[in-house]
């Protein structure tokens, strides 16, 4: 079985303009590239070409998501607004989500790349897939863009295979350093989609991603947030995977696992304050792949989200995709020994308190069908 890979040069043409990091270049801020610029993404694909990893993958061509497919989550008003702005000069899709003329079409191709990858995984054309799409998706809300995200790529991918391919339960494991608020909100009432987000405590969006936010109505208990303290490193992440993700997914028995994959928990990221090296990303991927093989015939879909250190991100993404594909290029990541040699990788008590609280939530997870049968 193979690993599918989605990418397209058009993704790199999504233009976020100039900013100071992400703050508009006004007043005293000298104009520079917006932090969500193409370079980290383009360099992932370039590194994969240089190492030969890309030749080991099944290339999946993206397509544009249709209006009907986008309406499975987003409101008609929001789509109309995006379309009108995109036909003119662009603007801001909501909060902190700048885009230029034509940006809506690129967002449709980004969402459609995830749909194509989800189809390939569910149809068994590939075992798992990595969708290197842009713009990202996990902050987008039904009626507005947020945090560089125009359309909720992962949400649309999940709804698509549920609507067209009879997929039932889906588990989402989001390790982007920011809270996966859009994905949480999309499925907050839904017991068939278990959403887990490992993120830096109260980083972005503000006041989002608390331990107490566990779902609503029938979806109560099917949303688990793990708001890790700033400075968390290898052991905090791997412990969260072992004590929260593994038991929750094992109990939930998903038909598909979706991973919004951000590399902004990397130790050199300008927006995150975490410590990860490519080794931890590789380890997390190995566990997710093992879970997928044990629980759902390997069906595992990664959708690219954040990660803003243009030089470091490609090595993290390369490790993840290499692990997904069982490929043995094993190139050396020159940054791994530097980050691994820094302090802060052991599990500290203030991190363990958070993880153990989330672990108690994970211990309560059951497939919804079993609950209703009781
Ligand atoms: Zn992020």
Distances (CA, A) of 130 to 104, 123, 174, 278, 335: 22, 15, 14, 16, 23
Query: What is the overall mean pLDDT for the chain?
Result: 97
pLDDT tens, residue by residue, 112-134: 999 999 999 999 999 999 999 99
Structure-token pair, residue 28: 């005293």
pLDDT of 371: 61
Specify whether the CB–CB gap between 254 and 301 falls below 8 A.
Answer: no
Does the pLDDT of residue 152 top 50, yes or no? yes
User: Distance between CA 42 and CA 129 in Å, rounded?
Assistant: 18
Specify whether the CB–CB gap between 314 and 43 falls below 8 A.
Answer: yes
Task: Return the axis-axis angle of helices 76-87 and 103-122, rounded to nearest 10°.
Answer: 130
Structure-token pair, residue 126: 């590939």
Q: Which residue has the tokens 């390790």?
A: 175
Taking residues 152-160, report their average pLDDT. Answer: 98
Question: Cα(251) to centroid of ligand 1, in Å?
Answer: 28
pLDDT tens, residue by residue, 163-192: 999 999 999 999 999 999 999 999 999 999
Q: How confident is the model at residue 368 (pLDDT cuts 50, 70, 90)?
A: confident
Question: Cα(264) to centroid of ligand 1, in Å?
Answer: 6
pLDDT of 370: 72
User: Distance between CA 239 and CA 8 in Å, rounded?
Assistant: 35
Question: Cα(174) to centroid of ligand 1, in Å?
Answer: 10
Q: Which residues are catalytic?
A: 139
Residue 320, H or E segment: helix 313-324
Q: How confident is the model at residue 143 (pLDDT cuts 50, 70, 90)?
A: very high
CATH fold group of domain 3-12+34-373 = 3.40.800
Question: Cα(305) to centroid of ligand 1, in Å?
Answer: 6
Residue 324: asked if its preceding bond is cis (omega within 30°), the reply is no
Taking residues 58-71, report their average pLDDT. Answer: 98
Taking residues 130-146, report their average pLDDT. Answer: 98
pLDDT tens, residue by residue, 200-242: 999 999 999 999 999 999 999 999 999 999 999 999 999 999 9
Where do the structural domains in the chain lie, given as residue ranges? 3-12+34-373
Does the pLDDT of residue 106 top 50, yes or no? yes
pLDDT of 76: 98
pLDDT of 374: 42
pLDDT of 330: 76
Does the pLDDT of residue 373 top 50, yes or no? no
Specify whether the CB–CB gap between 172 and 158 falls below 8 A.
Answer: yes
């Amino acid at each position: 079985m193979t690993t599918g890979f989605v990418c397209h040069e058009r993704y790199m043409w999504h233009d976020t303009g100039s900013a100071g990091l992400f703050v508009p270049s006004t007043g005293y801020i000298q104009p520079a590239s917006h932090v969500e610029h193409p370079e980290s993404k383009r360099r992932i694909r370039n590194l994969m070409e240089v190492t030969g990893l890309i030749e080991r993958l099944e290339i999946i061509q993206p397509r544009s998501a249709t209006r009907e497919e986008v309406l499975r989550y987003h409101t008609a008003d929001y789509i109309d607004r995006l379309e009108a702005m995109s036909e003119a000069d662009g603007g801001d899709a909501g909060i902190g989500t700048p885009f230029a003329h034509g940006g809506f079409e690129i967002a449709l191709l980004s969402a459609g790349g995830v749909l194509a990858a989800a189809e390939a995984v569910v149809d068994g054309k590939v075992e798992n897939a990595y969708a290197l799409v842009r713009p990202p998706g996990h902050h987008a809300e039904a009626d507005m863009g947020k945090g560089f995200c125009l359309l909720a790529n992962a949400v649309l991918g999940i709804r698509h295979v549920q609507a067209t391919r009879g997929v039932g339960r889906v588990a989402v494991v989001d390790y982007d350093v920011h809270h996966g608020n859009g994905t949480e909100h999309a499925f907050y009432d839904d017991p068939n989609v278990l959403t887990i987000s490992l993120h830096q405590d109260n980083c972005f969006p503000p006041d989002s991603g608390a331990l107490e936010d566990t779902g609503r109505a029938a979806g109560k208990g099917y949303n688990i947030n793990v708001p890790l303290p700033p400075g968390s490193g290898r052991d905090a992440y791997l412990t969260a995977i072992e004590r929260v993700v593994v038991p929750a997914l094992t109990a939930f028995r998903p038909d598909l696992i979706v991973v919004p994959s951000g590399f902004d928990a990397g130790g050199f990221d300008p927006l995150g304050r975490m410590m990860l090296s490519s080794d931890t990303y590789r380890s997390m991927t190995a566990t997710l792949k093992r879970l997928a093989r044990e629980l759902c015939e390997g069906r595992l879909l990664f959708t690219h989200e954040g990660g803003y250190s243009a030089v470091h991100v490609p090595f993290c993404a390369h490790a993840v995709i290499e692990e997904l594909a069982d490929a043995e290029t094993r190139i050396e990541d020159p940054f791994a020994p530097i980050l691994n040699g820094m302090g802060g990788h052991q599990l500290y008590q203030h991190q363990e308190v958070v993880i153990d609280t989330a672990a108690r939530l994970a211990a309560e997870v059951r497939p919804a069908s079993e609950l209703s049968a009781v």
